Amino acid sequence: MTKLDLLHQHGQSIWYDFIRRDMLTGAGMADLVADGIRGVTSNPSIFEVAIAKSDLYDSQIAALGDVTPVEAFEAVAVDDIRAAADILESVYDESDGEDGYVSLEVSPRLANDTAGTIADGMRLWDTVDRRNLMVKVPATDAGIPAIEELTAAGININATLMFSLDDYEAVAQAFIRGAKRASDPAILASVASFFVSRVDASTDAALDRVGTDQALSLRGKAAIANAKLAYRRYQQIFEGDEFASLEAVGTRPQRVLWASTSTKNPAYRDVMYVEELIGPNTVNTAPPQTIEAFLDHGEIRSGSLTKGVDEAATMINSLPSHGVDFNAITAKLQVDGVKSFSDAYESLLGAISSKQTQVVG
């Protein structure tokens, strides 16, 4: 039994925040599942690294012939997602649909287009054709109604790019509205991806600019405090009366998923965003290096997520008195996150175009 299995005994599933063709052949992904990995997440940045910076996809791109870069990307991405979903189907079955999911994002070009996001989400769901797919939709103003509509259509949703409590509230309520309209809400699975390390990176920079001893003493605390408050709201919504009618017909709660859990500041413990966010009915999607570090020296701090929640609220509420506008920080983080994924997507398409010139001619 690995530490990942022990985490699952404490209510937390570890998903693998990476995908690449070579891990889907041979024993790579199967070995990860044996070690306790219970799902896979992808995003445009991950696919950019996988496709643009390797030759693993060149033969398939060549075989596709004269197609657009968008069509070439979707073809190779869908193949990877299907292969991962097939490997994880055993986890899906064993967990009765709680885990075993693979996430694929709608086009980043649609982040501010509700109708386009709904259409793309439905198309990807039909194209991949795997019951353990999760379609990733950003929690932008345009994405929130799309999350509701796709959920109502019976599609599993991974709501992503959430940084604030307002983001979380909007996503949770969109899931509930959609689930109430779904023909069979008991088959739905959904996660709300709440980003962590980027919150510390931006808040720490603001505290550094303030420069007082009190401000500097708060560095490295905002992200975990913010996450604890989001989880408290999860408990209020999904463990209370608000979700009771859906729970009565077998609907699963929308789990909170901790994303961006690699530590950006080398001065901080490299597994802090795993150790400090362990709680029931949660997911942590971590990149390979963070998972390896946790397996090597991570500590399972049972219930860490529910400890010190009042102190977390006090810490977040104190930031304005130190000259830090936390609401502005989290709002900008979402805008920057959308742009980052969009830039990665456009860079990826450019790289595919170059590969097409080389291998197709």
Q: Which two tokens stand for residue 206?
A: 């603001």
| Residue 90 and residue 39 in contact, taking contact as beta carbons nearer than 8 Å | no
**Structure-derived torsion over alpha carbons of residues 134, 138, 139, 140, reported in degrees to the nearest 10:** -150
- Containing H/E element for 47? helix 44-47
Residue type for position 39: G
Distance, in Å, from the CA atom of 103 to the CA atom of 41, rounded to the nearest integer, reads: 5
Q: Which residues pair with 21 in a beta bridge?
A: none
Which one of 3, 136, 221, 355 is the catalytic residue? 136
Distance, in Å, from the CA atom of 291 to the CA atom of 273, rounded to the nearest integer, reads: 11
Residue type for position 101: Y
Q: Is 228 a catalytic residue?
A: no
| Residue 85 and residue 97 in contact, taking contact as beta carbons nearer than 8 Å | no
Chain CA centroid to CA 184, Å: 24
Q: Which residues pair with 195 in a beta bridge?
A: 259
Active site residues: 136
